[in-house]
Chain A
Amino acid sequence: MSAHSTAHDFKANASRAIADTQLTGNLKAVRQNFIDKRAKAVKGLPEFEALRESGKEIKDHTLAHLDLYLEYYAQKVEESGGHVHFAADAEEARKIALDICRKVGAKTVTKGKSMITEEVGLNAYLEANGVTPVETDLGEYIIQLRGETPSHIIAPAVHLNKHQIEGDFRRVHTHLDPARDLNEKVSLLTEARGVLRDRFLVADVGITGANFLVAETGTSIIVTNEGNGDLTQILPKVHIVMTSIEKMVPTLEDASQILRLLARSATGQEMSVYTTLSTGPRRMGDLDGPEEYHVILLDNGRSAMLGGEFQDMLRCIRCAACMNHCPVYHQIGGHAYGWIYPGPMGSVLSPSLIGVDEAGHLPNASTFCGRCEAVCPMKIPLPKMMRHWREREFERNLNPALQRWGLGFWAFFAKRPRLYALANRLAIKAMALIGRKKGSFKGLPGLGAWTKYRDFAVPEGETFQAKWKKARAGR
């Protein structure tokens, strides 16, 4: 079982989000920033388009030979003194992690930001088994204090504002002076730093994710802006990298190509502040580093996507540009999607990983505006794949009966041009007659879902085709 999902309740989740003015205000406050910063970074790099193409090619090639690269990578990790564990699903991944922790008698585990550990629900599992996980990324730390999940894949606490965070800090950090000033963002950051420093020092195991795995050298790479990832993986005796199989790239050169796309697309930086490469445990003569280095490679449904309609999704580098530009995400935020991955990338990925029965709403809740695909650094055709999910749902009869019936009724006429022309003319005339005194309907039987929110324009009264015929008859 992966982390708990409420994706089936998407509509209710979205309603709740829309009604939460604090949330929608917070979302609105940050969204333009993401968009502007990315636009500026992209503009500053003339070869950005060429890089996208090259990034796509690198990933396509890797995915086509993923088995070989995984094998090669694993061999390289072992050669450098590390260990690779393959995990078929979330449960296996959790167990492997707990086993490693138990072997070294770990009480406290520090964690770098990792969506994969969220996907497998690692924190709750460790806690239930007597190991205390401590998130060290500021955003993750905040949501851990609140008992929440990330609402965004690179900015997990983006749904919160400064005052909410201040409230949480005051609630939890009771050992600090209640009269302290937490008005500035920096003071929040400094406080979190101070609290976390002690935890770094007592941690027995550090768990991070990986942005890339390099087959050539058996290296895992993380990018961070706070440096917490470095402390997480260097200070404890054991470093566990928990990540998924599609993070693979063949060479360091390939990784550096894609890194140029990642930060620009994500935060508009040229590079993240820290790009950290880890290859095996500490070697003789190294000044620091862990004594043990483990990589847990999660599949959890990904290999089943290879060779199919959704393979392109495995190119994703988790930059979040798609959700940062999504009009639906802008309105409802990440939690409404109901599972780990929000926004357009989640709308494609979640049904693959937790099933379309559970996550069927997500690929439907899109206007197909195409902005996600336009900004995706890996050129993933997100709308096209959402449509593929709709096709699967349609084939399996998963859409609501009324919707199918409506579509079928319309299609019956649309497939019969003469009948269509006749029926359409009659319907249009009737509508125009009812609405002849007004320009718009405030409500209309059968169109309630439309007129609940907006008026419906009264038709002119005759169809274009009929009018055209009449107008041209005399010529």
Chain B
Amino acid sequence: MALFATCLVDSLRPNVGFATAKLLEEAGCRVEVPRQTCCGQPAYNSGDRATAKTLALQMIEAFESYDYVVVPSGSCAGMIIKHYPALFAGDPNLAGRADRLAAKTFELVSFLVGVLGLKTVSARFEGQVTYHDSCSGLRELGIKDQPRTLLASVEGLELVEMKDADVCCGFGGTFAVKYGEISDKIVTEKCANVTTSAAKTLLAGDLGCLLNMAGKLSRQGSGIEVRHVAEVLAGMAEGPAIGRAAQDPALVEARS
């Protein structure tokens, strides 16, 4: 099977890619990472259908030979699953290929639970965490219980629900920069809900939302750590949280 890391994970947080691979391999999958760029969502949502199609076709070509394509992001998986078929609908050459790729593409956690039938993971994470339901994953792909099921099996972890966990964080891709002021108000509210939940760690399944919330929390000087859910499920959450500095290498060395 193929891992589509997404451009954000590829560029900013490779650890999520490795966590994804680890979860899949531990469940018995053979994982490959074909050469990849972006699913085309930024172009698609900006109204640039032509570029979106070019990138979608590039994705189809790179990934269609695998049995499954797994993506650690609800919105990028949603792009392939829901929007590629819409992009190529009526195209005699490509509609079928888009549909077939869509049918074998899954968001990571829904793949682990829904396809592989996983109910538990073997990982440890101390403390209270809260989980934000990213919009595309929740409303396009119905991801709600799956991450909670798996998180419940993580040793030492306690999930505390925040208020309005299923309400948008204000990211919205280019929305966050085009309408920064409105986006800021939405994410400020989200962060208030995170903070009142009393959790020390915030998790979600989409790096876009995570960068937005982590960026705001960091700006507020909050001590709450932000991580991708895959990092916790894979037991790969020892490194610095999103937006946190790595510990001084000298210090790390001295300790080991």
Contacts and interface: CB of A to CB of B under 8 A. Distances in A.
A201 interface: no
A464 B45 contact: no
A403 B140 CA distance: 27
Given A390-B46, A391-B47, A424-B10, 18 more contacts: A327-B186, A332-B182, A367-B170, A367-B172, A369-B139, A369-B167, A370-B135, A371-B139, A389-B47, A414-B40, A414-B55, A415-B58, A440-B218, A440-B244, A447-B177, A449-B176, A460-B15, A467-B17
Interface string A168-208: 00000000000000000000000000000000000000000
Interface in A426-444: 427-428, 436-440, 442
Contacts, number: 219
A457 interface: yes
B182 A328 contact: yes
B14 A403 contact: no
28 contacts: A11-B179, A364-B179, A365-B179, A367-B173, A368-B135, A384-B86, A387-B45, A390-B46, A407-B51, A410-B42, A411-B48, A414-B51, A414-B55, A415-B37, A415-B54, A415-B55, A417-B58, A447-B177, A449-B177, A452-B180, A454-B184, A454-B215, A457-B211, A457-B214, A457-B215, A457-B242, A462-B14, A463-B10
Interface string A458-472: 111011110110010
Contacts of B179: 11, 14, 328, 364-365
A389 B17 CA distance: 35
Contact of B10 (A392, A416, A465): A465
Interface of A: 11, 14-15, 18, 327-328, 330-332, 364-371, 373-374, 384, 387, 389-395, 399, 403, 407, 410-411, 413-418, 420-421, 424, 427-428, 436-440, 442, 447, 449-460, 462-465, 467-468, 471
Given A414-B38, A457-B242, A370 B14 contact: no
Contact of B215 (A392, A437, A440): A440
B154 interface: no
Contact of A407 (B48, B183, B211): B48
B110 interface: no
A323 to B, nearest CB: 14
A453 B216 contact: yes
A465 B35 contact: yes
Chain B's interface: helix, strand, loop or mixed, by majority? helix
Contacts of B186: 327-328, 330-331, 367
Contacts of B238: none
Nearest to A418: B35
A370 B43 contact: no
Contacts of A442: 219
Contact of A455 (B11, B17, B218): B218
Contacts of A424: 7, 10-11
Contacts of A394: 46-49
B151 to A, nearest CB: 22
